[in-house]
Amino acid sequence: MQILHVCAEMFPLLKTGGLADVSGALPQALGQQGADVRVLLPGFPAIFAGLQISGEVATFNSFAGQIKVLFGQTAQGVGVYVIDAPHLYARGGNPYQDGNNHPYADNHVRFAVLGWVAARLAEGADPFWRPSVVHAHDWHAGLAPAYIAAAGHPARTVFTIHNLAYQGVFSPSDFAALDLPAHFFSVNGVEFHGHLSFMKAGIYFADRVTTVSPSYAHEITVHEQGCGLDGLLRDRGEALSGVLNGVDEAIWDPATDALIAANYTADKPAGKAKCKAALQQSLGLQESADAPLFVVVSRLTEQKGLHLVLERLAEITSRGGQFVLLGSGDAQMEAAFRVAAAENPAQIAVKIGYDEVFSHQIMAAADVIMVPSRFEPCGLTQLYGLKYGALPLVRRVGGLADTVIDCSLENLQEGIATGAIFDGFSGEELTRGIRRMFALWARPKEWKAVRKTAMNCDFGWQAAAQQYMQLYRALGA
């Protein structure tokens, strides 16, 4: 079974968010299930820097000018097709925006090419390897199912929605540049309220549509979280399903993690205290094993509920807790967190930006990982928290609801609790969750039991890989 994954980024080559973690881990897990998996990526400089290129597959004179498709491998041995088009991808800023955080004006072309090349590979552009299934991820690859449909369906297609809120919507005038049949710009196609939508294209044209958790698959079919596409998603109900993301245990495992101060396991957790002390010392926090350490590793956006955390920081510090944040995003939120840290450096530390090494150190040190999202397709930080014994404090939504078991009295008695869950998207509800964490912290025996249960949870990628293999087989791959 030959499967081509199509996406904009892939860990460890290039990462701006959780999509890269998925595209880095899932192909390897599918390979362990017997699939022959390759990945198609845009030729961003960081991607080229991490690949060993072995040769050229094809040269095309496309609607975006001349492009080459090269083939290489990651250090982990995953086969990668990379689109060599410096005029599209060799730029400053990040893959999607310039240095001033403005989206590139030609993003519709830059990412349409990704889908167009996927269709060429499905048609057999590589004489030595041809996919039976093309699996496209998020809006950047949303046109892959459309181009494959326009080519007469040379492969079956799967489209995974990682976050429906980011849809790749462009001006209707941009459609003319993309070399798609004119009739594709319609309600039964890529048209979305008069505009061009890459996300809608993926949902409409793919043979199967998945999301990254079962709860989110249901939530996006209702108006509140449907982002204007809930009607189409309801229409595609039989083709829509949720497959929970996993954790790449080769990277995220406190027993073997070389990035943290001390290794530890669920049965031998002593190293976690050393990790906490090391982080406190490095950040200038008061060194105290008795102070519960609450952390956030996240984009700073309203969706993630970080304004609620700002609003209720005193609930943590007034009770003797500490708080550490790693993230970036909304400028006002960044500034407010910096002010909070400057005013209380013994209890609050903030690092703006993203640092992969530091994220591991935070997770290893943390007692509580906070994910109070307004919506959350899956969430990966709570899964990392479970693995590292940082108990998740989460809102009951999307993948958070699917992965965390609340520390209610009955769940504590049954020995299945792994964190704390609250319902409403408000500061008051978050406060209740914080208080419950402190109540559990005050019972060390129960805290340690919940932490052990959390660390023993199995959220590896094998379960997701098995579900995707079943889905591919159902498509006749």
- Which residues participate in the annotated binding site for ADP-alpha-D-glucose? 15
For residue 350, the tally of other CB atoms under 10 A from its CB is 20
Query: From CA 379, how far away is CA 162, in angstroms rounded?
Result: 10
- Identify the H or E element spanning 350: strand 348-352
Query: From CA 54, how far away is CA 185, in angstroms rounded?
Result: 39
For residue 89, the tally of other CB atoms under 10 A from its CB is 22
Place of tokens 């998945």: 210
Residue type, 274: K
Place of tokens 């700002």: 310
For residue 207, which of 124, 132, 129 has the smallest C-alpha distance?
Answer: 132
3-state secondary structure of 7: coil
3-state secondary structure of 268: coil
C-alpha 95: how far from its chain's center?
16
Find out whether 132 and 477 touch, Cβ atoms under 8 Å: yes
Residue ranges of the annotated binding site are 15
Query: From CA 357, how far away is CA 90, in angstroms rounded?
Result: 26
Phi, psi (degrees; rounded to nearest 5) at 375: -145, 155
Query: From CA 9, how far away is CA 93, in angstroms rounded?
Result: 14
Sign of CA dihedral 393, 394, 400, 404: positive
Find out whether 360 and 259 touch, Cβ atoms under 8 Å: yes
- Residue 349: strand pairing partners: 324
Q: How many residues does the chain have?
A: 477
For residue 437, the tally of other CB atoms under 10 A from its CB is 26
Strand pairing class (208-211; 191-192) = unpaired
Q: What distances in angstroms separate CA 222 from CA 38, 232, 290, one per listed residue? A: 34, 11, 44
C-alpha 195: how far from its chain's center?
26
- Residue 211: strand pairing partners: 161, 242
User: 358-373 burial by CB neighbour count: b if 16+ within 10 A, else e?
Assistant: bbbbbbbbbbbbbbbb
Strand pairing class (133-137; 2-6) = parallel
DSSP 92: S
